[in-house]
Structure 1
Amino acid sequence: MIFIDNEGVTDPKLNLALEEYALRNFSNNSDYLLFYINEPSIIIGRNQNTLEEINQEYIEANNIHVVRRISGGGAVYHDFGNLNFSFMTDYEFNKLNNFKQFTAPIVKILNDMGIPAEMKGRNDIVANDKKISGNAQFSSVKRMFSHGTLLFDSDLSEVTKALNVKMSKIQSKGHKSARSRVANISEFLKEPMSTTEFRQKILDGLFEEKTDFETYKLSDDEWKAVHELKKEKYDNWDWNYGKSPKFDIQRTKRFKGGEIDLRIKVRKGGQIENLKIYGDFFGKEPVEKIEDALENVRYEKSDITEVINQFDLYEYFGEIDKEEFINLIYGPDEL
């Protein structure tokens, strides 16, 4: 097995780009292992509706990254107390959805450390029935990876806040994450250790399992290609948000000028397909002007704000705060 040295990178977009680049470009017939630790971030599954998974207001206020990965599964929270691993191998049918095969060495090492870890359900490692690791897979024609998280000393309160959805009444064809009882691996240790020490323990255990273990350092040209992939894909709003499946939103709020009821259809690709405004408000101008102006606009707060700023909302709804109206379209429920 070949260990890929990510040189201490903690940018989740760069680490996911590195993982995809290695899968698609490193030689076949070889097994690779990648370890990385990310800055606070939410990593979205390939088939999920990003907005349905995250507390957008909270992640913006706390500078938390939001990145979509190429594998399926649910949304997960990463921070400096969370260790991520990725096993890359040639594709074989019997490996697909066989998470136990990939995680068995990790479980053994955890057991050797005195942690009551076991594989349970489809893709989780648990300790005393509390989830300490979630896993996902991706396969191309010839290659595949199985990757997962190891919650070592993560801020579990942040998990709840960052993944606590604030958008109301979203109806989506995306795959909603199932929330599980979670725990940190550090809770089960008899002697405390740092995340870095834990990472080394896991690596040492894997080295013992594979006598032909070697370390690979990327060349400057390879790092350049990884950065290009990050720029073209993982830095891109269209990938992280716009790839969400088509979804509908219904939101209602009473303003001084009356109640406004919004029905919003967002197409796959992240643009507003259709927006209808209902309510008992009084206005001089027809709301169809606002509806038409928002058609085909990205469902992103900055884009929506740019459109709404063109209108004198008093002419359409009576007494209403512009920021509150924008938040009704895209924002937190508690306005």
Structure 2
Amino acid sequence: MLRFVRAPKFTRGFCGLGQFERLRVADEAPAVVVSEANQIHFNLALESYLMDVVKPKVPVFFWWRNDKNVVIGRNQNPWKECNTGRMEEDGIDLARRFSGGGAVYQDLGNSCFSFLVPESKFKKSLNNDIMLKVLREHFGLIGEASGRNDLMIEGKKLQAKGLSSVVSRVVNLSDLNNSITHESLTAPLIAEFYKQYNDSNAALRDPEIVTKSSEFTSDPKFQKLLAQLKDWDWRFGKTPQFTHLLEKRFDWGTIEVNLDVHDGMIHDAKIFTDCLIPDLIPLWESSLRGHPYSVDGVSESLQSIPIDPENLHICDEFCNWVTHEMKS
């Protein structure tokens, strides 16, 4: 099913000097960049590289999509927005944008686009019109622009499925017209982009096709962006402070665990229980403090405690429970 995802920087005009370093795009005419690297961290890095390193002086249309992932905004909590444990099991990438916005699930059924336009040429309605005109003239779908960034068809947004923060009413384009695919949209969108920006020589140029082996990817500036987006500290460690409260009744007692998490690390752990083996509690608390708030981090910290064999089953139950709750 095809869904649109408007890239967060869609609404930003851009002003800057410079040339496309190691990208075959002229400075004097509108340009199209199509990514065939269906990987979320790569494409987010490319978008930032285009905006902040290349700094185009011409309008650029960036057309891309990603294999299965969840992408969150700069200030969102991944443990609240998605089931990180299940994502890991299912091979779903987690990415955090440099910009804001909500959490969405993406896969190859999502088509993502960015307009990178110099401030002197930027007109939001023009960029909206490109998408709406293609949908109307090529696929018979009547839509409208709504709010700050939304394109609407039948009162529903053209967007990927929102996750826990705000669940939006969305529509799949292929449910409205089954001839719509990422491939069938590509040519008319590129043609309309060139038309709207008055490029009479567009037919003489091919889009710049980008892959993971494209020459510019060896640029240290691109590699730095890619490394940051993939880094655990950026994806998880930049999470705002939050508290995770866990409660459960075991055969050996009722237990309440309070985890205070800063920047993806367990800053403090407080455990309250009526367990009849009180010496276990300070061991658990001290072992959790200072470890990453992750299944591996918590499991490693709890399993490293020297435990009396008589209490090993209690510790195993406790560890399995905490890590299971973190995956939920």
TM-score (norm 1): 0.77
Is residue 108 from structure 1 mapped to residue 133 from structure 2 by the alignment?
Answer: yes
Counterpart residue number, 1:76: 104
Aligned mate of 1:327, from 286, 298, 323: 323
Aligned-pair identity in percent equals: 25
The C-alpha deviation readout for 1:168-219, integer Å capped at 9, x for no partner, is xxxxxxxxx3111111011222x62432112333223223323325534569
- What is the rounded CA distance, in whole Å, between the counterparts of 1:280 and 1:99 in structure 2? 61
Is residue 210 from structure 1 mapped to residue 197 from structure 2 by the alignment?
Answer: yes
Relative distance call for 1:73 and 1:319 in structure 2 (3 A) is closer
The C-alpha deviation readout for 1:154-180, integer Å capped at 9, x for no partner, is xxxxx58xx4x6xxxxxxxxxxx3111
- What is the rounded CA distance, in whole Å, between the counterparts of 1:231 and 1:124 in structure 2? 28
Rg: which structure is higher? 2
Counterpart residue number, 1:300: 294
CA RMSD in angstroms comes to 2.8
- What is the rounded CA distance, in whole Å, between the counterparts of 1:103 and 1:91 in structure 2? 16
Counterpart residue number, 2:271: 277
Q: 8 Å contact 2:260–2:266 — kept in the other structure?
A: yes
Counterpart residue number, 1:168: none
Task: Please report how far the alpha carbon of residue 63 of structure 1 lies from its aligned counterpart in structure 2 after TM superposition.
Answer: 0.8
Task: Please report how far the alpha carbon of residue 85 of structure 1 lies from its aligned counterpart in structure 2 after TM superposition.
Answer: 0.2
Is residue 4 from structure 1 mapped to residue 29 from structure 2 by the alignment?
Answer: no
Relative distance call for 1:325 and 1:27 in structure 2 (3 A) is closer
Relative distance call for 1:100 and 1:74 in structure 2 (3 A) is farther
- What is the rounded CA distance, in whole Å, between the counterparts of 2:265 and 2:278 in structure 1? 28
User: Which SS does the other structure have where 1:274 is aligned?
Assistant: strand
Task: Please report how far the alpha carbon of residue 2 of structure 1 lies from its aligned counterpart in structure 2 after TM superposition.
Answer: 1.1
Q: What is the one-letter code of the residue matched to 1:103?
A: N
Counterpart residue number, 1:254: 249
Q: Structure 1 stretches (4+) deviating beyond 4 angstroms?
A: 98-101, 217-221, 316-320
What pairs with 1:88-99 in structure 2 (closer than 5 Å)? Answer: 88-91=116-119
User: Which SS does the other structure have where 1:67 is aligned?
Assistant: strand
Q: What is the one-letter code of the residue matched to 2:247?
A: T
Gaps in structure 1 of 5+ consecutive residues: 134-150, 152-158, 166-176
Q: 8 Å contact 2:49–2:222 — kept in the other structure?
A: no
Q: What is the one-letter code of the residue matched to 2:131?
A: I
Q: 8 Å contact 2:126–2:196 — kept in the other structure?
A: no
Task: Please report how far the alpha carbon of residue 284 of structure 1 lies from its aligned counterpart in structure 2 after TM superposition.
Answer: 4.7
- What is the rounded CA distance, in whole Å, between the counterparts of 1:306 and 1:260 in structure 2? 20
Counterpart residue number, 1:136: none
Relative distance call for 1:204 and 1:231 in structure 2 (3 A) is closer
Q: 8 Å contact 2:61–2:193 — kept in the other structure?
A: no
Counterpart residue number, 2:170: 182
Counterpart residue number, 2:27: none
- What is the rounded CA distance, in whole Å, between the counterparts of 2:185 and 2:247 in structure 1? 48
Q: 8 Å contact 1:284–1:316 — kept in the other structure?
A: no
Aligned residues: 288
- What is the rounded CA distance, in whole Å, between the counterparts of 1:303 and 1:99 in structure 2? 45
TM-score (norm 2): 0.78
- What is the rounded CA distance, in whole Å, between the counterparts of 2:169 and 2:258 in structure 1? 34
Counterpart residue number, 1:117: 143
What pairs with 1:193-232 in structure 2 (closer than 5 Å)? Answer: 193-212=180-199, 213=202, 215-216=207-208, 220-225=214-219, 228-229=223-224, 231-232=226-227
Counterpart residue number, 1:137: none
Is residue 128 from structure 1 mapped to residue 154 from structure 2 by the alignment?
Answer: yes
Is residue 235 from structure 1 mapped to residue 239 from structure 2 by the alignment?
Answer: no
- What is the rounded CA distance, in whole Å, between the counterparts of 2:209 and 2:108 in structure 1? 22
The farther-off stretch of 286-295 and 219-228 is 219-228
